[in-house]
Amino acid sequence: MSDQTPLIPYEWPGTYYFGEEEYAAVKDVLDSRSLFRFYGPNLQEYAKRLEKDFATRLGRKYALAVNSGTAALGIAMGAIGVGPGDEVLLPGYLWVSCVAAVVRAGAIPRLVDIDDTFCMDPEDLKRKIGPHTRAVLLVHMSGAPGAVDKIAQICRENKLFLVEDCAQANGASFHGKPVGSFGDMAIFSFQLNKNMTAGEGGMVVCDDLKLNRRAWAFHDLGYPRTDEGRLDVSDPEFHLWGQGARCSELSAAVLYAQHKKLGRITGDMRRAKWALRAKLEGIPDMKFRRIIDPAGDSGPFLIMTWKDRETCLGMVEKTRAAGVVTGPIGVNNIPMTNWGMHIYYNNGSLVGKTSNSAAGRPWNDPLNAFASGYSYAKGTLPVLDDLIWRSSMLSIPPVLSDEAIGKIAAAFHAAAKA
């Protein structure tokens, strides 16, 4: 812990933008006594309006608001029908929810290495595609996509479903095309750390009517709804099993207001991050994470890869001592090996192939016998293992001042000279 005043305000970007709009929307919902999205005495339809705005921004036909990003991932797996006998390819730099969605669907996750974008390496993706591969779960990590164009192309050529996890990159784009518009489906999270937030929340988007209808059934009670908001049991094709992930009108009200500010939030983070990056240019033995399209970076993280582990740990230690930290509960300026369940080998349940029940599924399901030799232990992804071992990261709040940017840069330059 540093003995200096923290130079970096806490992350949780969306919270800095809470204002009259969020308060007014929440008051609307309470005043109308209509907190359930499908009916109520005077429904304000915030979930519906949020979905409309969200789909329009992404150029998507359908959007479905849900109660978390983790739920959204499970719904996407359900909608495309992933199950036992299927394998889903995903990068080793991810979040535990990505693996959980595949495992809970009864399918097998298979790890793909990353490249210097810190996102999935398209070349390793090609090598990992096999006869059981059904889908690719592409995770746009730490604010910006990797080679999403190439990966989308590979998925098309191999007839694989592409699901984008945009939880960490809401508002990012790739040469002008927003993330969330490349895959068959895409998901978002509105948890506190994400670019816009209501504390909890998520979104599922797609263009296909059937995928959309299945997603709606899964997020609810397993059945579609009528125009009056009541369960519709008329179509046997939609007698499914739901997972209870509906979005409350209270959350939707906050998110409706936040969504209108998303461009401002990501713009402020991007400006702060790239101003700092410019000032850190020239530090010896350090390379920045490669961002293919800087204009499309949503900005919440800055990743630096050092010559070796020792340099990485030394730079983190010295700059932390100089005040490059947040308050006591912040996670910032850390070696990436400490970045928890974002790193595949830090997921105990994955490495240990654990199961939620004594039956040991999905690992010992006879339909999944093809995967019995898969390992998830450290050593599985050599490029990731090397990059993470000697990289450090900063969280960039949108309210980082020019003065703080100058001091942080000075601390890194001083540490590099010492």
Note the residues at the interface with ligand PLP (CB under 6 A): 68-70, 95, 97-98, 139, 165, 167-168, 189, 191, 202
What is the rounded CA–CA span in Å between residue 122 and residue 112? 9
- Least Å from the CB of residue 33 to ligand PLP: 27
Identify the DSSP state of 18: -
Choosing from 27, 150, 194, 318, the catalytic residue is: 194
DSSP for 374-410 reads ---STTS-HHHHHHHHTEEEEE--TT--HHHHHHHHH
21 near 257, Cβ under 8 Å? Answer: yes
| 58 versus 66: smaller Cβ distance to ligand PLP | 66
Contacts of 214 (CB under 8 A, 6+ apart): 78, 79, 81, 238, 240
| 179 versus 217: smaller Cβ distance to ligand PLP | 179
- Least Å from the CB of residue 102 to ligand PLP: 12
| 85 versus 143: smaller Cβ distance to ligand PLP | 143
Phi, psi of 254 (to 5 degrees): -65, -45
78 near 218, Cβ under 8 Å? Answer: yes
Taking the alpha carbons at both ends of the chain, their separation in whole angstroms is 20
250 near 29, Cβ under 8 Å? Answer: yes
| 68 versus 248: smaller Cβ distance to ligand PLP | 68
Contacts of 120 (CB under 8 A, 6+ apart): 90, 91, 112, 113, 114, 136, 138, 139, 146, 147, 151
Q: Taking CB positions, which residue lies at the least distance from ligand PLP? A: 69
Number of alpha carbons in the 13 Å side-chain half-sphere of residue 3: 1
- Least Å from the CB of residue 49 to ligand PLP: 21
Contacts of 309 (CB under 8 A, 6+ apart): 389, 390
- Least Å from the CB of residue 11 to ligand PLP: 12
Identify the DSSP state of 54: H
322 near 329, Cβ under 8 Å? Answer: no
- Least Å from the CB of residue 189 to ligand PLP: 3
| 189 versus 212: smaller Cβ distance to ligand PLP | 189
Based on the residue annotation, tell me whether 194 is a catalytic residue of this protein: yes
- Least Å from the CB of residue 190 to ligand PLP: 7
| 201 versus 362: smaller Cβ distance to ligand PLP | 201
Hey, which residues are catalytic here?
194
